[in-house]
Amino acid sequence: MNKSFWSDRRVFVTGCTGFLGSWLTAHLVDCGADVIGLVRDRVPRSLIVQSGLINKITVVAGDIIDYHLVERTLAEYEIETIFHLAAQTIVTIANRAPLSTFETNIRGTWTLLEAARRNPTVQQVVVASSDKAYGSHKELPYHEDMALLGSHPYDVSKSCADLLARAYANTYELPLVVTRFANIYGGGDLNWNRIVPGSIRSVLRGESPVVRSDGTPKRDYVFVQDAVNGYVTAAEQVPNALVQGQTFNFGQDQPVPVIEIVETIIAQSNYPDLKPRILDQIQNEISDQYLDSRRAREVLGWRPQFTLEQGLRQTMEWYSDFLSTDLPDK
């Protein structure tokens, strides 16, 4: 990461109040960037609000699907760099109510891309795709040249957003890079039905964590600070011909079964004898998913700095502080 690159740079972050968006915004502010954040809903317990960080950025209130608002923001604030993170990110919600997911994840992406295309100050656009965009393949790990085969609402929304981004890069030469991350975890994620925050909250309360699957699906996990490093590193290198218009996978390249994540969390808690409660009830979710991150390592020079154990330990400490008033006396 090149801290001087971001000094006084005008950066637009969509999804800045989300889990990853909060961490990314904090890093950019720390580097001296002039951050403009798009905020649809104010979430009082979100990291960006609780930390006071939201008072250190310019807030634009509105929805990513509002084209005129997005274009006005890019023009009036003379945005140079865009991180497009705004999305509905929960698979179960997408399955239950797909229209809002399609609106935000697909329409929101073409709205942002079209506005960026029409504003000459924009120098870099980073679009957050996902490992879910690949859908289900017999061959693993996923590499960047594989087809995008999303077949359920959330997966499809990410496949579409990914394809749209590359269409704008290829057709209009929009200076853009697409990131496909493994499962990102860390403090500040308030989506409790995700395996890491949900399991940590349970064990901190002395309760058995719930596993919605049978525990066998394999996933790759990347700590949020490593993810932020990946995003800013990719943005800095957009002018590179090997980066412009390309896609990059980011992960530990060490897939583990879901049950192993839960057992590691239990082992690091004050209740090591807890047993997970296996529901085996998931539907419309891909079983094994993990990435090949060689391109990010070789082209961008990115490498994760945190092992899974180190990342989970820091994450547990964050939630212990955050939930301190809700925890039983030791």
Active-site residues, by number, are: 154
Tokens representing residue 91 in the block: 């698979």
Helix (H) or strand (E) holding 203: helix 195-204
- Strands 218-219 and 256-257, sheet pairing: antiparallel
* Integer CA distances (angstroms), 130 to 88, 115, 309, in order: 12, 22, 23
Place of tokens 């961490």: 23
- Least Cα distance to 112 among 72, 166, 67 occurs for 67
Are the CB atoms for 71 and 116 separated by under 8 Å? no
* Rounded Cα gap, residues 207 and 273, in angstroms: 11
Whether 68 contacts 45, CB under 8 Å? no
| Mutual angle of helices 258-267 and 195-204, in 10-degree steps | 30
Q: CA-CA distance, 139 to 141, in Å (whole number)? A: 6
Beta bridge partners of 218: 257
Beta strand 176-181 with 124-128 is: parallel
- Give the tokens for residue 309: 């154990």
* Nearest CA-CA partner of 198 in 258, 257, 158: 258
**Angstrom distance (rounded) from CA 79 to CA 115:** 11
Query: Would the CA dihedral through 92, 93, 96, 101 be positive or negative?
Result: negative
Gap between the terminal Cα atoms of the chain: 41
Single-letter code of the amino acid located at 40: R
